Structure formats: structure tokens, C-alpha cells
Amino acid sequence: MEERDRSHEAEATRPGLRGQEAARADAQRSVTESQRREAGGRLATLIDSGDYDYTRPRRGEVREGVILSIGENDMVVDVGAKRDGIVPPKDLELVDEEYVDSLQLGDHIPVVVLKTWGRRDGILVSLNKGLQQQDWLRARDLLDGGQVVEAEVTDVNRGGVIVSFGRLRGFVPNSHLSSVPPGLRGRRLRTAKSALVGQSLSLAVIEVNQRRRRLVMSERAARRRERQRLLQELAEGQVRTGIVRNLVDFGAFVDLGGLDGLIHISELDWSHVTHPSEVLNVGDEVEVYVLDVDRERRRVGLSRKRMLPDPWDRVTERLREGDVVQGTVTNVASFGAFVDIGEGVEGLVHISEVAGGEAGLTDLQPGSPVTVRVLNVDAEQERIALSLQEVGAPLEATSVTEGSV
């Protein structure tokens, strides 16, 4: 016992683990032998009295340890047993240095019992396995709770990619990767997977088998869960930020974070838009207004123009009855022609206000520049009546305004 006491006293004078300065080592000395004997005496008394629920440590058991001392080569922890737990040097080398250097006397750490006997009559325990056990428990919680976690891709193999999950390695099979375009084979597939190394993926845990050390994860399952979560969270009137994923003739698809919504071409801008590429590019970040959510069909309607100033709010300041303005024909119908007169405002030239009636209407084509007279402005109903017939009439006190062509 005296030899053991001397070894502890000698260890208390050594510098901290992995080159920590002597000042820190001195400040973090182990509890004194008298304190430990006193604690041991109290423990023995409790055990003898039956008031303490004592269980002998078993190999493979996970216990919470309290750090008693930090030596140059090992660590001593109280594991609630008659003897202290010893974390050997080789085990500490497996734990990242930053974590070890952050430990202080009195800290609670998870350890796994390796042997119930060991050097200096202590119990041999593993901090590395204890930390891994925490990661296994976290993986199990994620599996049971259906939650999504971020993990960095560290390597690739023929079957998929390897990701870092705490102190464990997770595996994402090829069939569960969403970041890799479907249909790739051979070298093209491996190149696409290699490009993911260093990137963080949103993943769902789909299998946990600690005995076989299998941790399988899925990017596709994570995206499905994120879509479902978003569908439940989204509501009409919300404002969201997304990334433009695709442009089509009828609008733009925007990724809201796992769920795509559609901005119809009519909701892209207050001005007339012929194609979405006139106002957006793939990859653009865009702020959108949620118009409607169809959870059964998993469709979300979005608007970009609702996030822009409404030109109708100031149309009466800009236009008055009798004004002559320049515009562009945007559409021709059987009853008349629609004309863009600038700043996102369109007016209607009824067929009765077209010189020549139907014959004159057929001469108008989308994109044609025209000069029109303002007949009426109804800002509340967002309607403007225009005329092509009266443009040549005397202007008198009226003004001429140029619109965007």
C-alpha cells in the first residue's frame, strides 16, 4: 500500500498529459490520499449499512467516471467501486488530443470496464470505448426518433461513401445517395462520389448494429423526412428563402430545404415575363411568399412578386386619365389587346378602342411597341382602360409618359 501511495505522490508531481505546462498540472492535482481514504471509508460504511446500492464492475459495462487525477501517461477515475479505474496510455492515444486536454479534475466521463483487475490494483477502463458508446446511443436515438443529422464524407468505396459520426464511421450505400446523379456507373460514379469528400450531408440513420459495428445511413431517407417535416410546417402567408433548382417554360422550381415549390411564371414579377430566365438563374437564392400548400399532392405554390413592391400602390400617382404613354403589346385576345405600360402594370385596349376593330386587332402582335391613351385607372381593381383610337386627339393639358418597352 505504501508503494502505491508513493507512486500516486510521484505521479502528482509530473507535468500534465501530452506536454501540458507544469502550472496547469500543479493546479489539477489529484485529491489527497487522506481525502481518498476518507471517501473509501465512507463508501465501506455505506456498503456495510446496506444504504448503498453497490454493484461490482463487470467487463464490458459502461460506467460514469469522475476524474481523480490526470497523469503524464494515464488517468485515474472513480467508477463507484472499491478500486479506482485506470485509463491506460494506449487508450488515451485513441482519443482526440483537444478533448483530452480540455478535461479537468472532477469532470464526469463515460468509461467501459475492460478488466476488473489491473496494474496498481485498479480497474482497467477505456475512455475511448466509453465515448464510442455515447455515439452508439446517439445513433440509436436518431434511429428511434427519425431525426436527421449532418455528417461529413471522409472516404468512398465501391458500395458507397464513408461518413464521420462522432467517433464512429457511418456508411451510406450508393442507392441511398441523393447527391449523386442517378444512372451513373463505373468511373463516372466513383468520380461523383469522390467529389463529396469533405462535404457535409444531411442523413437519416436506418440501421444500428453495435455488435457487428454497423452504422448505415441514408441521404434519400433524410430528404423524405425533411420533405414531410416541411409539408407540416409550411402555411399560406409564410415567407421562406430557397434556392432556384430548375427553370421551365411555366415557372421556376425552388428548393426550400428538401422540398421543392413552384413559382408560376405569373408570380415571378409584376412586369410581364416571357421566360423565367429573364428574372432568375439556377442557383439563385430567392425570397418567396407561400401562396398555397397541398399536403396530399405534396405541392407548394410560391410567389416572388409578392415580395416586391406592388406597382399598383402608386399607379394613381404615375398615371392619370388622358395621359399618353408608350407600351408593349403582351397578349392579344378576341376582345382586345393587353399592353405593358411599365413598372409591372398592364392595361387593356378593348377591341372597341382599336382603329379598324377586328381588322386592326389582327395587326397587333405580342412584342409590338404602341402608343396608347389612358381612359380610366381603377387601382383598387387593378384595371386600366387604354385606347389606340384617341392617340391622335389634341392633348391640351394632358402629359406624355414613357413606359418600359
Residue 329's CATH number: 2.40.50.140
Q: How many CB atoms lie within 10 A of CB 51?
A: 8
**pLDDT at position 204 over 90:** yes
Q: Does residue 229 belong to any structural domain of this protein?
A: no
Tell me the mean pLDDT in the region 269-288.
93
Tell me the mean pLDDT in the region 171-199.
92
Q: Do 151 and 250 share a structural domain?
A: no
C-alpha cell at 1: 500500500
CA distances for 191 relative to 164, 185, 216, angstroms: 20, 10, 22
* Amino acid identity at 339: V
Q: Do 196 and 104 share a structural domain?
A: no
Tell me the mean pLDDT in the region 342-355.
88
For residue 397, name the pLDDT band (cuts at 50, 70, 90): very low
pTM over 0.75: no
How far is 82 from 78, CA to CA, in rounded Å?
A: 9
- With beta carbons less than 8 A apart as the criterion, state whether 342 and 380 touch: no
Q: Does residue 141 belong to any structural domain of this protein?
A: no
Tell me the mean pLDDT in the region 272-278.
91
**pLDDT at position 55 over 80:** no
Q: Do 362 and 256 share a structural domain?
A: no
* Amino acid identity at 375: L
Q: Do 117 and 13 share a structural domain?
A: yes
**pLDDT at position 155 over 60:** yes
Domain range enclosing 381? 311-401
Q: Do 395 and 319 share a structural domain?
A: yes
Q: Do 116 and 23 share a structural domain?
A: yes
Q: Does residue 138 belong to any structural domain of this protein?
A: no
pLDDT, tens digit (0-9, with 9 covering 90-100), for 379-388: 888 899 999 9
Q: How many CB atoms lie within 10 A of CB 123?
A: 23
Counting the structural domains of the chain, the total is: 4
How far is 336 from 349, CA to CA, in rounded Å?
A: 6
**3-state DSSP assignment of residue 151:** strand
How far is 103 from 154, CA to CA, in rounded Å?
A: 27
For residue 216, name the pLDDT band (cuts at 50, 70, 90): very high
- With beta carbons less than 8 A apart as the criterion, state whether 374 and 326 touch: no
